[in-house]
Structure 1
């Protein structure tokens, strides 16, 4: 583990190196560029992957609550006066540190920022990119609505209309954010029988990740996938490049697309693309004696793509990926032909001072804590910030990447619009993160009904088909609540991987069926009998702990230690398991009144983690460290 000062220095060094690595722009000293810099627009990103021409919209932003929920657009989106607005930096969660019922229930807030374009050149188009906004967004430019989005945890982009842009003057970007959740949202929310808001985890409202302004010089990479095909660990490989481009110009444009495989040049082809039209370029190449990516040797190839008009580079798309295979063979997850038995942690993006709007320093701290404990995998309920995946790629760690289709009731999943939104979440997650070798499973959701039925069965079938159509190189899974009464479910047939959330001996479960932890071993054997061809993973286990006390007393550090030792001891007797995950690494906020089975809780904080939100390690940290480091997590 890095000491915190050294870790911070490392993050600063990475940021500096990333900034130095960016291409020099021809208009760096132009009046427009100087004005943009004065607005806080920085020619840098907080992660490497993606298109060139991104400008971090840092500097001064303003926030204002809309207590009426539908305030006059002219005041919030068009009036340039900042009277009544609070200066903030972005990312920002407006209700960080506010754990009231009203905070969780959500509301409406507005963000705004004045900016100049880095270049006034008329040939350029501009896009604003939001990495994560919770939950419903309306985006305005100079007082006019230009786009909408629903959802969180995934990026979305909106083009800034040329007719509204002031190319040589001051522009006003405003975003209306509504984080009031409904039973059809992801995760869903509503009211308990006592009128208390419910939901999956704390409902932080705002611009939860950073915002970029993105420059387009006629051509733009719409989607990019670089997919490896490694038949066996010692085999030659193939790599398939698939890139879809859009011509943003007003006339047809001849476009040439090339790529890299390390030092090797790869030509994808040349085509004439009509004005405002799309074109897809595909190339499959053989790779002799590839350097493979693995936990012990996480080799990354530079596989970046470039589009040019034959004379000038119009855009580059930075990609680093690894050549590796992840498959399910005889009911086991296999990485490069060798079985996995990973040990990992769940994680949430949360902090005491910033809520969800954490920075790369905290992300790095979580990764280093996990490494210190001997973990090789992160699981999340939603796609994580790209910084996580890039670091996992570099370190040879793994990721179970899930969409927040969590505890959606069947009566809502039955609605066509809900299934369509769920499918869009999965599609966006795959397209956004497809090039990360660390991701080994796409998970279509978590803890839907333990008795699926035809509605959930239909969703699972469609979700698996969609994910595999976009990415045939990875298995698709689902995390489910582990109850003996669930039995064998034919609706899980399309899945490659089944994640079991088991809390035997912590929660009692329906009719007390998981109250006795000594029944865990038999239950796991029954799961294996139901699904012999699927990879089985323990996706959650854990026990709350916030104090010293007797080992028999729930909620004590000593109970948590004994719980960890017993459960991972059972897992060690199941050689067919592909891995196990403790939920979570660091504490996070859940919902008002959360007690999590602890007789002396500290709501709304989920306290099953071995590390507190203040960064203090509990005794179980060292038990899990000993267990994880003693486990062979990859290999024969």
Structure 2
């Protein structure tokens, strides 16, 4: 089991020093790759071996026509291009309507392969690109992707690779979004772009080059099954591997659960074919992962080629995983971890920065986590899958996560299209596959604030999404976050869901026909939700009020109003022991369009100011109110 015991900056420096080594210890090819900024390191640990961070200098060029510098993307020439580092959001610090509406930009980078061996295959991995991308290698289109917040990979064709020389990777990025995208974007009644959190364009997370020695782990799932908090457990390994080679390859797959070796078996995998390995083992008297004792098992997998005559067996690829043995179940309307009830207190979170936009680094992610822990929080919720660093740290710290896909506020007339519903369900399936091994994730959420009166269209989507998520991961509940309005009533379309998240802003927004303007009606409303859904776990997934100045407690937008709002709402939640959690929206301010000011007479658009911490890192008075409330709440256990 690995744990961080040194400051992150020191670890990074040590890693770089070890990686650099004496120049004579590396081949000229490896030295050339390192000079290009390819580093044999990652910003998170989970995943396959052979990853090289594509750091160093990239180049960017805006494309006003949208047709691109196609002829230029094969050239190593950088004339007319701007040097940038990646991750990069090209419109960071630009809060204009044109910035939000989006446009087209190009990135390119010259690189040498770390090894010129002809037997090796290479894949480029993008952790998040917003939103539509076309990928070129040495001037030839090699792949496309649509969507953000989830990784995608594209194989670099051997016929196009210059194994001993410089290659040029170019990416066309188009962040103009449509009402059928996730999240959607469109125009307001007065013709201005609208759509939620800020539409930052670019390579928003890091890029890796992956080395493949014929065999590659395509998917890896390590799923615990714990019948009760004191029972023996079972762990199921399921992995699919792919043979990139031109010949059949015999492969043995093994794993470890701590010090225990697990043999998943062997198989001959045909050229360009896949093979799936599954093994279920019993774990007696397991050490459990829980919020108060987050024990992690090292469960790394290894694919090896068997020995042949005098030729020793060799490792083809390994895949690092840490997981925790624990159960997450909804029992009699409460979410239980290892048979104990959860009463989490926490925050929503967005990746945003005044300087970098969405393209933040691990230091800022760590800062958000430490702020939340300082306040006594145990839970994060996001509108989209977060960078893996968040989940790895929450795994280590015993925090829990509500992980959502950005199927946010999609209008019913678009969700009615079968293609949109299928793509939305696929988005959830991809999020599950990507993050399945993190014990901190306790809810997969199919979306946020779709129509408060779902009807058959949304009902069909919910049914499809839940079924698909559970076919991949039967160990976790599936939920949905909804806008809290009394007029919504009981909705049969929510029947497939295990968990329901309520976004409630009683006393801040007025809601349809003013129905949530009076905060004193909150308690009765929550009781009515419980009566509608007695068997579902209920969370408050959002609450809060914006604040940016001192002033009277009765004046919206003041720190005093915000503190009073927090104390009142969490006071109501304390009278509802059946709530599984309550989250303030958000931990740190972020940029939005429109402003969501809720009646604040002096808002500061586009900054969303409900958070207890400003984008400049300044704590508001409500920080300490929430700290007192959170630390005074028993968040796990009876």
TM-score, length-scaled by structure 2: 0.97
1:423 aligns with 2:425: yes
Is 1:29 matched up with 2:26? yes
Q: Offset at 1:22?
A: 8.9
Distance 2:414 2:270 in 1: 42
Is 1:73 matched with 2:87? no
SS in 2 for 1:590: strand
What is the distance in 1 between the residues matched to 2:633 and 2:414?
A: 42
> SS at 2:293's partner residue?
coil
Distance of 2:462 and 2:18 partners within structure 1: 42
Q: Are 2:203 and 1:207 aligned?
A: yes
| Counterpart residue number, 1:566 | 568
Alignment pair present for 1:46 and 2:43: yes
Taking the TM superposition and a 5 Å limit, the aligned residue runs for 1:84-95 are 84-95=80-91
Aligned to 2:337: 335
One of 226, 233, 246 as aligned partner of 1:250: 246
Q: Secondary structure at the match of 2:377?
A: coil
Find the partner of 1:627 among 615, 624, 629. Answer: 629
| Inter-partner Cα distance in structure 1 for 2:19 and 2:214 | 20
Residue equivalent to 2:326: 324
Matched, 1:534 2:536: yes
After superposition, give the CA deviation of every residue in 1:442-473 in whole Å (9 maximum; x if it has no partner): 00000000000111000000000000000000
Point out 4+ residue stretches in structure 1 off by more than 6 angstroms. 17-24
Q: Is the 8 A contact 1:99 1:592 kept in 2?
A: no
Corresponding residue number in structure 2 for 1:120? 116
Matched ranges for 1:230-379 at <5 A: 230-310=226-306, 311-379=313-381
Q: Secondary structure at the match of 1:78?
A: coil
Q: CA deviation at 1:403?
A: 0.2
Which segments of 5 or more consecutive residues in structure 1 lack a partner in the other structure?
1-6
Shift in Å at residue 12 of structure 1?
1.5
Work out whether residues 66 and 110 of structure 1, in 8 Å CA contact, stay in contact via their aligned partners in 2: yes
Q: Distance in 1 between matches of 2:390 and 2:290?
A: 17
**Contact conserved, 2:68 with 2:172, CA < 8 A, in 1?**
no
Equivalent residue of 2:197, what SS?
coil
Matched residue, 2:310: none
The change in CA–CA distance for 1:533 and 1:227 in structure 2 (over 3 A counts) is: same
Q: How many residues align?
A: 629
- TM-score (normalised: structure 1): 0.97
Please report how far the alpha carbon of residue 200 of structure 1 lies from its aligned counterpart in structure 2 after TM superposition: 1.4
3-state DSSP of counterpart to 2:191: coil
Q: CA deviation at 1:71?
A: 2.5
1:163 is aligned to 159
Question: Could you say which residue in structure 2 is the equivalent of 1:403?
Answer: 405
1:420, distance to aligned residue in structure 2 (A) = 1.9
What is the CA–CA distance in structure 2 between the aligned matches of 1:260 and 1:347, rounded to whole Å? 34
**Whole-Å Cα distance in 2 between the matches of residues 342 and 239 of structure 1?**
26
CA distance in 1, matches of 2:194, 2:513: 23
Pairwise CA distance, 1:592: 5.0
For residue 387 of structure 1, the aligned residue among 386, 389, 412 is 389
| Residue of structure 1 equivalent to 2:57 | 60
Q: Distance in 2 between matches of 1:103 and 1:114?
A: 28
Q: Deviations over 1:187-206 (max 9, x none)?
A: 10011111110001100000
Residue 338 to residue 422, structure 1, CA distance change in 2 (3 Å): same
Distance 2:19 2:347 in 1: 34
Alpha-carbon distance change, 596 to 163 in structure 1, aligned in 2, over 3 angstroms: farther
Map Cα deviations across residues 337-375 of structure 1 (whole Å, 9 max, x no partner).
Answer: 000000010000001100000000000000000000000
SS in 1 for 2:205: coil
1:424 deviates by 1.8
Shift in alpha-carbon separation, 1:288–1:9, aligned structure 2, 3 A: closer
Counterpart Cα distance in 2 of 1:520 and 1:622: 23
Q: 1:590 corresponds to which residue?
A: 592
